[in-house]
Amino acid sequence: MRMAALAFFLTLIYSLTGCASAPLRFDGTHAYQKYVLDQMDLGARPAGSAADRATGDYIIAQLNASKWNVTTQEFTYHGVAVRNVIGKIAEGRGPIIILGAHYDTRARADQDKTHPDQPVPGADDGASGVAVLLELARTLDVSKLKNEVWLAFFDAEDDGELSGCIVAPGPACDSASWQWSVGATYVAEHLPTKPTAVIVVDMIGYTDQKIYYEQNSDAALQQQLWSIAAQLGYAAQFIPQYKWSMEDDHTPFLQRGIRAVDMIDFDYPYWHTIQDTADKLSGASLERVGRVLQTWLESQ
């Protein structure tokens, strides 16, 4: 009775003062128009480049604007400066959930038959995942979270199997081939506690979106996410069948016994070509992924 009366007065106060504003919803148009296009304006963003550094600075500024606590991890890999950016919220509320995306772009478009020496612009392969995480930072209802949530922006994912002198040419360059997921590996190696789940989003913005189960990902967690997608009406884009087997930023977490999923649309014809540009992406695709993640996070 007392609680009911209190609730009534609180409702009255909120409605009089306008505090009970409607919760924000993930907006794919905003994710595309702002976060994808702002990243594309920086040009190609390979690890160690000025544009990569500027992308990290941009991510930090957006996280700060959305009131997330920001930490960075800086280290050197084969002589190249690498920086992960991690936004944290609801710290200490519960076990950690990490949502991750890489923000660097591949130094060479080696799948491009005519321009294999040019850098990948990285609209889908880079900007799309970052845009989803930044829009989540803006719109998540933190009051509904029961976990500490990290948004991890990994550097140096996408130069795997390229020579160091291709990635970062110069007098002191190291010709050793680069590993994939250098930034994510560093995060996985420096965790304070074992997270309860890690979800990586990569290449999820294609207009003709089809996201299948990934072979190495945690099966139960994948099922949960795809069933939320079906409930939201996205069954045509989230297809609960196995297709690709990926080595990606989820791999270093899986290797340490952590539940991890790679949400990736690998049926992307422009992968690692110079045609990976913003016109191939749609806000609707970003929104489907964002709303699945938002619904999942807020219901944990």
The residues that touch Zn ion, with contacts defined as CB under 5 A, are 125, 158
Nearest-angstrom CA–CA distance, 131 and 249: 17
Q: Which is nearer to Zn ion, 55 or 147 (CB)?
A: 55
Q: How far is the CB of 63 from Zn ion (least distance, A)?
A: 23
Q: Cα dihedral angle (232, 282, 265, 65), rounded to 10 degrees?
A: -80
Distances (CA, A) of 298 to 56, 60, 272: 27, 23, 34
Q: How far is the CB of 120 from Zn ion (least distance, A)?
A: 7
Q: Which is nearer to Zn ion, 178 or 234 (CB)?
A: 178
Phi-psi category of 60—alpha, beta or left, where left has phi over 0 and alpha has psi -120 to 50? Answer: alpha
Nearest-angstrom CA–CA distance, 34 and 226: 27
Q: Which is nearer to Zn ion, 59 or 120 (CB)?
A: 120
Q: How far is the CB of 7 from Zn ion (least distance, A)?
A: 50
Q: Which is nearer to Zn ion, 138 or 272 (CB)?
A: 272
Q: How far is the CB of 272 from Zn ion (least distance, A)?
A: 6
Q: Which is nearer to Zn ion, 195 or 205 (CB)?
A: 205
Closest by CA to 289, choosing from 133, 100, 137, 152, is 133
Q: Which is nearer to Zn ion, 78 or 106 (CB)?
A: 106
Q: Characterize 198-229 residue by residue with b for buried, 16 or more Cβ atoms within 10 angstroms of its Cβ, and e for exposed.
A: bbbbbbbbbeebebbbbebbbeebbebbbebb
Q: Characterize 240-260 residue by residue with b for buried, 16 or more Cβ atoms within 10 angstroms of its Cβ, and e for exposed.
A: eeeeeebebbbbbbbeeebbb
Q: How far is the CB of 125 from Zn ion (least distance, A)?
A: 4
Q: How is residue 300 written in tokens? A: 């944990």
Q: Which is nearer to Zn ion, 167 or 197 (CB)?
A: 167
Q: How far is the CB of 202 from Zn ion (least distance, A)?
A: 7
Q: How far is the CB of 286 from Zn ion (least distance, A)?
A: 17
Closest by CA to 291, choosing from 242, 237, 228, 235, is 228
